[in-house]
Amino acid sequence: MSTLQELCFSNIAKTIANTPVMIQEEIIGTSTAIITKEITDNITTKVTAETRVHIKRNLSDFYANIVPSMVIDIVSATKTGRNRLNYRNLYPDMDQVILEDAISAAELIANVCVIQRMETGEDNFEAWMDM
């Protein structure tokens, strides 16, 4: 016993088979284009969503690892008078916008540490060194 869907597909196939060759090619070509677009749209949507999750996870890991080490370097360089590391040369493959954001965050935190030290004599810098 055939299902309704199988009967419909069978009927559509017979109808297409009974049409002239040029019309068959047009029907099949149009169907293929529609199916290809549908599949492409579905894949693009899924890959985009997965990529966003992956990027967020990697950026969180990057910032969590890199910003504290930058803060340590900046504060240490400020305390000792040495030049700080060139992060752009240290991470040449990192997207420059992301790297600049990390540098800005580290500079802001380091400035707070230095200002706190100037105002109170303490900067809790040792806590950063234990990370």
pLDDT tens sequence across 62-75: 888 899 889 889 88
Are 97 and 88 in contact, with CB atoms under 8 Å apart? no
Sign of CA dihedral 99, 104, 105, 110: positive
Let me know: does 107 contact 77? Beta carbons within 8 Å: no
pLDDT tens digits for range 20-63 = 888 877 777 777 778 788 888 889 899 888 888 888 787 888 88
**Can you read off the two tokens belonging to residue 56?**
């967020």
pLDDT at 12 over 50: yes
Predicted TM-score (pTM) of the model is 0.53
The pLDDT assigned to 11 comes to 85
Residue 103 predicted with pLDDT over 90: yes
Residues 6 or more apart from 88 whose CB is under 8 A from it? 96, 99
Residue boundaries of the structural domains of the chain: 4-129
